[in-house]
């Protein structure tokens, strides 16, 4: 039986849709709770009138939210103006690959509209399946992000 064609639509995430997107965020970053997500997104969606920062949601033809990117435009030493995708989540129960492809197309279209020369996508290190999908569209390792959580500085007297 041939696979059914998938139809997705993207939309700009508005302030009242931030909580709706939380299940996707929690699937991607389980250590983030709803309050932290809302705090993080407050500045992003508040700047919605600026096209250089924001979030795009992805809906399946059935209407459910199955993907999300959080992006910002920034200057990169090697690539010049770049669309940086800090969060990329594609979770479609039928076809993760089709959802990832739809999000990639949306990110690339946004990058072109903003005059960017490249797209950088940050993925969780343990999301091999999504990494494989994105790599199949010409994306590859360009840099490595090393992170170290810091303890708060002791109060000075």
69-84, pLDDT tens digit by residue? 999 999 999 999 999 9
3-state secondary structure of 7: coil
Per the domain annotation, does 1 fall within a domain? no
- Phi (first) and psi of residue 6, to 5 degrees: -100, 145
Per the domain annotation, does 36 fall within a domain? yes
Range of the domain at 21: 8-135
Taking phi over 0 as left and psi of -120 to 50 as alpha, with beta for the rest, 134 belongs to alpha
Judged against a pLDDT cut of 80, whether residue 51 lies above it is answered with no
**Cα gap 105→117, rounded to integer Å:** 15
Per the domain annotation, does 141 fall within a domain? no
Q: For residue 50, what pLDDT band results from cuts at 50, 70 and 90?
A: confident
The first and second tokens of residue 124, run together, are 């969780």
Paired sense of beta strands 80-90 and 118-121, if any: parallel
Q: Which residue has the higher pLDDT, 119 or 135?
A: 119
Percentage of residues of the chain with pLDDT beyond 90: 49
Judged against a pLDDT cut of 90, whether residue 148 lies above it is answered with no
| The pLDDT value given to residue 79 | 92
The first and second tokens of residue 65, run together, are 């939210």
Four-point Cα dihedral 18, 42, 38, 121, nearest 10: 70
Identify the weakest region by mean pLDDT among 13-17, 92-96, 130-134, 147-151: 92-96
Per the domain annotation, does 32 fall within a domain? yes
| The pLDDT value given to residue 49 | 67
Judged against a pLDDT cut of 50, whether residue 1 lies above it is answered with no
Per the domain annotation, does 26 fall within a domain? yes
Nearest to 122 by CA among 103, 137, 98, 144: 144
Whichever domain contains 81, its CATH number is 3.40.630.30
**Cα gap 35→91, rounded to integer Å:** 22
| The pLDDT value given to residue 95 | 77
Average pLDDT over the chain reads 86
Number of domains present in the structure of the chain? 1
Averaged pLDDT for residues 48-57: 82
């Amino acid at each position: 039986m041939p696979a059914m064609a998938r139809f997705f639509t993207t939309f700009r995430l508005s302030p009242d849709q931030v909580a709706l997107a939380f299940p996707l965020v929690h699937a991607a970053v389980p250590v983030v709770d709803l309050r932290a997500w809302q705090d993080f997104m407050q500045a992003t969606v508040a700047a919605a009138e600026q096209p250089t920062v924001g979030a795009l949601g992805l809906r399946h033809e059935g209407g459910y939210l199955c993907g999300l990117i959080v992006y910002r435009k920034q200057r990169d030493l090697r690539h010049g103006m770049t669309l940086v995708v800090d969060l990329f989540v594609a979770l479609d129960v039928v076809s993760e690959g089709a959802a990832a492809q739809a999000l990639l197309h949306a990110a690339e279209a946004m990058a072109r509209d903003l005059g960017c020369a490249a797209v950088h996508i940050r993925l969780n290190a343990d999301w091999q399946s999504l990494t494989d999908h994105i790599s199949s569209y010409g994306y590859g390792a360009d840099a490595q992000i090393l992170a170290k959580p810091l303890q708060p500085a002791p109060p000075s007297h």
